[in-house]
Amino acid sequence: MARFVIGLDYGTDSARALVVNAETGEILSSSVKNYPRWSRGLYCDPASNQWRQHPKDYLEVLEFTVRDALSKCDPDVAANVVGLAFDTTGSTPAFADETGAPLALSPEYSNDPDAMFILWKDHTAIQEAAEINEACKASGTDYSMFEGGVYSPEWFWAKALHILRNSPEIATKASTIVECCEWLPAVLTGVTDHRKIVRSRCAQGHKSMWSAEWGGLPPEDFLSGIDPALAGWRSRLFENTETADKPVGHLCPEWAGKLGLSEKVIVAGGAFDCHMGAVGAGVKPYTLVRVIGTSTCDVMVVSHEEIGDKCIKGICGQVDGSVIPGMIGLEAGQSSFGDVYAMFRRVLEWPLRELSGLEGEALEEACGNIIPSLTVEAERIPVSESGMLSTDWVNGRRTPDANPLVKGTVSGFTLGTTAPMIFRSLVEATAFGTKAIHDRFAEEGVRIDEVIGIGGIALKSPFVMQTMCDVLGKPIKVCKTMQACALGAAMFAATAAGVYEKVEDASLAMSSGFSKEYVPDPARTKVYSEIYKKYLALGSFAEEALY
């Protein structure tokens, strides 16, 4: 009988489970479910950039998606599942008790946002990140050196310090801080002591300044020097991290029963979605994988010999084993991509929702037609004829050179400006943001031979992908499966379960291949190269003169 694995992908809005033949990569079934509390906007405050998720959301969708996906397979598949693995958003930490459970799972803190998981895009810790950056630059060792040299409010220590300052009671009650991608494997393997949680090399290397070079986390005197509130937390966390190809344990009896699986099932280590997604897309040296969704993550791998002791400036980190064990994983990305288009859609929805008189299905259908209709019209506008120019920083800038304070900019309005013109400029802005990341890697000596796109936008929006291709002046392959991140998690599950010796072997055997390759139009690429210079100039003006 064939062996099967389950890849679990925890995104921003929903989670999905993928049941995969571990030997062939055939996807047998999948299931997706939105987080119920998140869908209602609970515990979030967009005006203050607060984005929190309740741990119960994660547990409820876990049980549903696994059982639902298995229900679509032959009855004997569940009995032959040998492994499962999680990928999640990140940095998405939560303060937890002695058992490792987030404090929001206790009745006392069940409605306290500071006791929940702090989602990757939460920007409430801007001040704390600035203080960490100041401390890094004043220190004899720059502990942000392997994280691009700029620490972000989206990351572990900034968020932790913000909660410690904002909620002293949470600080008193908590025993540790855990990333979502570490907590979920711990739950499934029955861990009841936070000291036994296996910590993710991917999460901690990229977001908590963990490095073997200085013996793990930054030293106690550095952390307490930022703020006495951080004193003692280093010793309450962890010393070591592990790559995600290793097993962390077997399914505990409780969760084996809930999921309808055997207690023999191996649970692999956790990692971030974009890193496992890169493996699912077939990442290899000189390949840039773009995980394109509400935001983007750009992932590469390089050998130790090639990168040497060089630190790549302005990215989201370079970490040994964060993507493929034995290689250095590089991460960059845009804080908003699909969110740029969603923002513009919300602007245009206002008169429909407030003034049109439409209700119910008719209203939702009208709103749902906004982006498709804009796309059709925007495609008809020749490059540069709209006269509009925008930046993509509607949620700050992640890379190159993180700056959460910058805002999105739209310029070039005239009396003849139309909504499709604005939309085209926003699509071009997200493509220019892509080029800025590509060029930073190139400037730092990282060779890029091919680009791969994965995710819903890559598969569903030819206009966006062709624009990106023309701006880059490079072909872009699109991964065939919509669920490349979940497939990547399945590859890690197969490796941890012993089906493959190395993640690279699993990636080769289980790959879905590519559905399409976009080829740049040389004429448009030439025009875009000039417009890109104006994008850089507009960005500089917006950053220096306004913010």
How distant, in Å, are the alpha carbons of 94, 104, 105, 281 from that of 114? 8, 8, 12, 35
Q: How far apart are CA 8 and CA 14, in angstroms?
A: 11
Q: What number of other Cβ atoms are within 10 A of residue 479's Cβ?
A: 26
Per-residue pLDDT band for 384 (boundaries 50, 70, 90) equals confident
pLDDT at 175: 97
Q: What is the mean pLDDT of residues 366-380?
A: 96
* CA proximity to 515, closest of 488, 546, 540, 481: 481
- Tell me, what DSSP letter sits at residue 78? G
Q: Is residue 166 part of a domain?
A: no
By percentage, how much of the chain surpasses pLDDT 90?
93
Residue 547 pLDDT greater than 60, yes or no: no
Three-state SS string over 467-504 comes to HHHHHHCCCEEEECCCCHHHHHHHHHHHHHCCCCCCHH
Q: What is the mean pLDDT of residues 117-135?
A: 95
Q: Which domain holds residue 380?
A: 338-479+515-546
Name, in order, each residue with C-beta under 8 angstroms of 419's C-beta and a sequence gap of 6 or more: 348, 374, 377
Q: What angle do CA 309, 178, 282 make, to 5 degrees?
A: 50
Q: What number of other Cβ atoms are within 10 A of residue 372's Cβ?
A: 9
Q: What is the mean pLDDT of residues 195-223?
A: 97
Residue 32 pLDDT greater than 90, yes or no: yes
Residue 271 pLDDT greater than 60, yes or no: yes
Q: Is residue 471 part of a domain?
A: yes
Q: Is residue 342 part of a domain?
A: yes
* CA proximity to 289, closest of 243, 337, 335, 329: 329
Q: Quick: pLDDT tens for 64-89.
A: 999 999 999 999 999 999 999 999 99
| Structural domain total, the chain | 1
pLDDT at 387: 86
Q: Quick: pLDDT tens for 445-499.
A: 999 999 999 988 999 999 999 999 999 999 999 999 889 999 999 999 999 999 9
Q: Mean pLDDT across the chain, nearest whole number? A: 95
Residue 533 pLDDT greater than 90, yes or no: yes
Q: What number of other Cβ atoms are within 10 A of residue 133's Cβ?
A: 18
Collapsing DSSP states into helix, strand and coil, what is residue 94? strand
- Tell me, what DSSP letter sits at residue 399? S
| Inter-residue contact 203 to 272 (CB < 8 Å) | yes
Q: What is the mean pLDDT of residues 363-370?
A: 96
Q: Is residue 442 part of a domain?
A: yes
Tokens of 115: 């006791």
pLDDT at 293: 87
Name, in order, each residue with C-beta under 8 angstroms of 175's C-beta and a sequence gap of 6 or more: 96, 97, 98, 194, 236
Per-residue pLDDT band for 545 (boundaries 50, 70, 90) equals confident
| Inter-residue contact 61 to 43 (CB < 8 Å) | no
Strands 176-179, 93-96: parallel, antiparallel or unpaired by DSSP?
antiparallel
Q: b/e string for 48-70 if b means 16 or more Cβ within 10 A?
A: ebbbbbbbbbbebbbebbbbbbb
Residue 419 pLDDT greater than 80, yes or no: yes
| Inter-residue contact 109 to 103 (CB < 8 Å) | yes
Strands 476-479, 514-518: parallel, antiparallel or unpaired by DSSP?
antiparallel
Q: What is the mean pLDDT of residues 286-314?
A: 93
pLDDT at 113: 98
| Inter-residue contact 288 to 300 (CB < 8 Å) | yes
Q: Is residue 355 part of a domain?
A: yes
pLDDT at 455: 87
Q: Is residue 407 part of a domain?
A: yes
Residue 468 sits in a domain whose CATH number is 3.30.420.40
pLDDT at 546: 63
Q: Quick: pLDDT tens for 35-69.
A: 999 999 999 998 899 999 999 999 999 999 999 99
| Inter-residue contact 268 to 252 (CB < 8 Å) | no
Q: What is the mean pLDDT of residues 6-19?
A: 96
Q: Quick: pLDDT tens for 277-286.
A: 999 999 999 9
Q: How far apart are CA 331 and CA 299, in angstroms?
A: 5
pLDDT at 385: 79
Q: Is residue 345 part of a domain?
A: yes
Q: How big, in percent rounded to 5, are the helix, strand and coil portions of the chain?
A: 45, 20, 35
Q: Is residue 72 part of a domain?
A: no
Q: For 519-526, which contacts have Cβ atoms below 8 Å and span 24 or more sequence positions?
A: 519/469, 519/475, 520/469, 520/470, 520/472, 520/473, 520/474, 520/475, 521/470, 522/473, 524/383, 524/470, 525/470, 525/471, 525/473
